Structures are given as C-alpha cells and as structure tokens.
C-alpha cells in the first residue's frame, strides 16, 4: 500500500491532473465491450469505405501502421491533458515593503550654506540630497514618491518602485522652485491624498524642513489630523544649523534673519500621527536619522525561495498532432490512387 502511495505521489508531482491518465485505455475498452454493428444495419459512412484494403490484414483504406499511430497519438493526448510539469529554478518572491512619500522643503532658507559635506561647505538642500540618495538606495522594494514644497506643495513623482527616477527628480530640484515660503500643512495634505488608496498599515511620510509654516491653505495642525485619520505616519525632520552661515573661508557670519525652526510644531505633528520627530544639525546627524527611520519602517525581508512549475503539455500535444497527420497521409494517397484508377477505367 505504501508503495502505491509513493508511486502516486511521484506521478502527482509530475502532473497537475494525473487522474486523466486513466483515460488512456478508453478506446480499447470501447472496442472490447461495445457490440459490433449488425450486418445490413445502418452504419457510419466514411469516404474511403470502398477502397481496397492496404497491406496484409489491414482495414479498408488504412495502412498497417495506422492503428498504432492512432493509439500512440491518443496516449500523448492523455498525457497532455494531464498537464505534465517540471520544477523551474528557485525564485525569490518580491519583498513586502512600504508606500513611502518624501516631502522636501525647497523654501529660501534651504539655500543657507551652513552644512559640511566632506571637506566642502554646502547649502542645506545639497546636503539633504546627498543623504537622501543613500537612504533611497537602501529602500529596495519600497514604492517611493516625492513631494516638494515651498509656498505651495507639488508632487514631483508618484509612488513608484523606480527609485532612480525619484533620485533624478530630487537632483533636479533647486531652492525656490516651489516658492520661498514654507507650506508644511499643504505638503502633508498632498501626501495624505497620494497615500489614501494604499494599504493603511504601509502609509508613511517623511517630511524634511528647516523653517516655520508660513504659507499654504492647510495649517500643520489640521493636516496632522487628516494624516492621523487616514492612517499616515509622519516622521518629521527639522534640518539646519543653529549657528548661522559658514563662509567659504571658514568664518561664521551672523545668523540669517529667517525664523528659527518650529520644532514644537513638528513634534506635535509626529505625536498626532504616531511618527517620530528628529532634529538634524549636520549631515552626520541627518544620516543617523534616516538609519533610525530604516529601523522604524523596516523593509520586510523576502520569504523562502519558491520553485515554480513549468508547463510541458505543449510537447506531447504537438507530438499527438504530428502522429495524427502522419496517420492521415496514407488515406490521402489511397484516395488519389483510387481516383486515378477510376479515371483510367472511364477512359
């Protein structure tokens, strides 16, 4: 009994519908058990019934090998119907990840040169771009979208798996592109709108700004309520130095007249939506914040590798068709021969 079970398991692993193989002896059963047609009764008329038998012991109009070809064709048809399959190479399933929106401030204060990037002194936007490039590189599997905001908020890229296009759009941004003021509430509202059709547990917004909300239709408080109700977690990053600008010669200049970062408002937005609020005063701190966000919003690792089944039924199906054509060739030749003989008699 165990041997039969093992044999059945082996067949089942090679065929999707192995029970169809039981149809292979069906023609023999029909021929063996059905009564033959009675003499003189109505029978099936075939066009080659009047042709002489071909070969020794052959039926009328059939070559000796034709029954064997038909049997073999039927067997191949049964094998094709059972859907033979073959294990393919292992494939890694796609990783389940986040729907992640990045909102980057392009207001006038992002042009202040108070950040160091290696040996260079750069503006805040350039420093943010450099750190974001590394962050995007690590978010393989995420669908990432980009929003920029100043006086107004704009969606630069929709949610996409193509992180290279997001990076390209970010690289092309410049300070003041969306206006020189700061509409934090509008940026959050636009992100909520872009994320509302995505799975609720995966909606994440990372908002980077260096100023105070002083423009836009939505207040940050109202936008935070919308994000909370929509299930969007907002992680806020207050970015910028507290010590004023740095000149190219390394001397510190007086602090800008721009208002200081409203850390309390950003903290309130994060608290209301279940996110975290961060403060980055240099590029190292900003990079560390994105590392922390990686831990807060992990990309789930891929599951176990799967081996797909590759369908192989076209092979026996093609073989059956070829055999049926081969079995039909002698009949056609006999018809042609008989027709030629009839014309000779008539003449």
161 band by pLDDT with thresholds 50, 70 and 90 = confident
Q: What is the DSSP letter of 59?
A: P
**Per-residue model confidence as pLDDT tens digits over 271-292:** 999 988 888 877 788 888 878 8
Tokens of 205: 């917004």
Q: Report the percentage of the chain scoring pLDDT > 90.
A: 12
- Lowest average pLDDT, out of 18-27, 60-69, 250-259, 303-312, goes to 250-259
65-103 residue pLDDT tens = 677 778 888 888 888 888 888 877 776 655 556 778 899
DSSP state of 92: P
Supply the pLDDT for residue 298: 63
Question: What per-residue confidence (pLDDT) applies to 124?
Answer: 84
Averaged pLDDT, 205-231: 89
Q: Reply yes or no on whether the pLDDT at 3 is more than 70.
A: no
Residue found under tokens 């800008």: 256
Distance, in Å, from the CA atom of 56 to the CA atom of 208, rounded to the nearest integer, reads 92
Tokens of 46: 């075939």
H/E stretch holding 203: strand 203-209
pLDDT, residue 334, reads 47
Ramachandran area for residue 141 (φ above 0: left; ψ -120 to 50: alpha; else beta): left
Q: Are 203 and 126 in contact (CB under 8 A)?
A: no
Enumerate long-range contacts of 24-28, CB under 8 Å, 24 or more apart. Answer: 24/74, 24/75, 24/78, 27/71, 27/74
* DSSP tag of 115: E
Burial 148-179, CB ≥16 within 10 A → b, else e: bbbbbbbbbbebeeebeebbeebeebebbbbb
**Which residues does residue 278 pair with via DSSP β-bridges, in sequence order?**
237
245 pLDDT band, cuts 50/70/90, is very low
- pLDDT-based confidence at residue 249 (cuts at 50, 70, 90): very low
User: How many Å separate Cα 332 from the centre of its chain?
Assistant: 52
Once rounded to an integer, what is the mean pLDDT over residues 189-201? Answer: 85
Q: pLDDT confidence of 116, banded at 50, 70, 90?
A: confident
Q: What is the dihedral of CA 317, 323, 326, 330, to 10 degrees?
A: -130
- Interatomic CA distance for residues 318 and 220, integer angstroms: 67
DSSP assigned state of 313: T
Which sequence spans correspond to the domains of the chain? 99-296
Pairing of strands 277-280, 99-105: unpaired
**Mean pLDDT, residues 163-175 taken together:** 89
Given this model, what pLDDT does residue 12 score? 56
CB 108, CB 175: distance < 8 Å: yes
Report the alpha-carbon distance of residue 145 to residue 203 in Å, rounded: 11
- In this predicted structure, what is the pLDDT of residue 48? 45
For the domain 99-296, what is the CATH superfamily, name and number?
A: von Willebrand factor, type A domain (3.40.50.410)
Q: Which residue has the higher pLDDT, 75 or 35?
A: 75
Q: What is the mean pLDDT of residues 299-327?
A: 76
Give me the DSSP letters along 136-189: HHT-TT-EEEEEEESSSEEEEEEEES-HHHHHHHHHT--TTTT-SS--HHHHHH
Q: pTM higher than 0.85 for the full model?
A: no
Q: What is the mean pLDDT of the chain?
A: 76
User: How many angstroms separate the CA atoms of 49 and 159, rounded?
Assistant: 71
Spatial separation of the C-alpha atoms in residues 166 and 183, rounded to whole Å: 21
pLDDT for residue 221: 92
Is the confidence at residue 316, as pLDDT, over 80? Answer: yes
Q: At what angle do helices 66-81 and 314-346 cross, to 10 degrees?
A: 150
Residues of the chain with pLDDT > 70, as a percent, come to: 71
Check whether 230 has a pLDDT greater than 80.
yes
Distance CA 203, CA 109 (A): 29
C-beta separation of 138 from 129 below 8 A: no
């Amino acid at each position: 009994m165990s041997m039969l079970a093992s044999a059945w398991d082996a067949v089942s692993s090679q065929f999707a519908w192995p029970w169809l193989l039981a149809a292979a002896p069906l023609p023999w059963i029909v021929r063996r058990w059905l009564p033959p047609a009675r003499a003189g009764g109505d029978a099936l008329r075939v066009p080659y019934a009047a042709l002489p038998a071909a070969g020794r012991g052959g039926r009328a109009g059939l070559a000796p090998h034709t029954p064997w070809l038909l049997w073999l064709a039927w067997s191949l048809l049964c094998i094709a119907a059972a859907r033979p399959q073959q294990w393919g190479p292992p494939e890694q399933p796609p990783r389940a990840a986040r729907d992640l929106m990045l909102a980057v401030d392009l207001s006038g204060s992002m042009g202040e040169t108070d950040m160091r990037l290696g040996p260079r002194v750069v503006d805040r936007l350039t420093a943010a771009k450099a750190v974001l490039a590394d962050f995007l590189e690590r978010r393989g599997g995420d669908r990432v979208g980009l929003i920029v905001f100043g006086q107004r908020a704009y969606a630069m890229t929709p949610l996409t798996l193509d992180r290279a296009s997001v990076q390209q759009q970010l690289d092309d941004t410049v300070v003041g592109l969306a206006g020189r003021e700061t509409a934090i509430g509008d940026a959050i509202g636009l992100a909520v709108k872009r994320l509302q059709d995505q799975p609720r547990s995966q909606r994440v917004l990372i908002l980077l700004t260096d100023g105070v909300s002083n423009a836009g239709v939505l207040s940050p408080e109202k936008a935070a309520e919308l994000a909370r109700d929509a299930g969007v977690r907002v992680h806020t990053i207050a970015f910028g130095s507290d010590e004023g600008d740095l000149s190219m010669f390394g001397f510190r200049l007086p602090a800008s007249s721009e208002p200081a970062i409203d850390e309390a408002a950003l903290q309130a937005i994060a608290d209301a939506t279940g996110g975290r609020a961060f403060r980055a005063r240099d590029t190292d701190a900003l990079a560390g914040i994105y590392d922390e966000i990686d831990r807060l919003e992990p990309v789930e690792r891929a599951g176990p590798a799967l081996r797909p089944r590759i369908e192989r039924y076209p092979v026996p199906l093609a073989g059956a068709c070829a055999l049926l054509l081969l079995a039909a060739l002698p009949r056609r030749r006999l018809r042609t021969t008989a027709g030629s003989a009839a014309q000779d008699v008539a003449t």
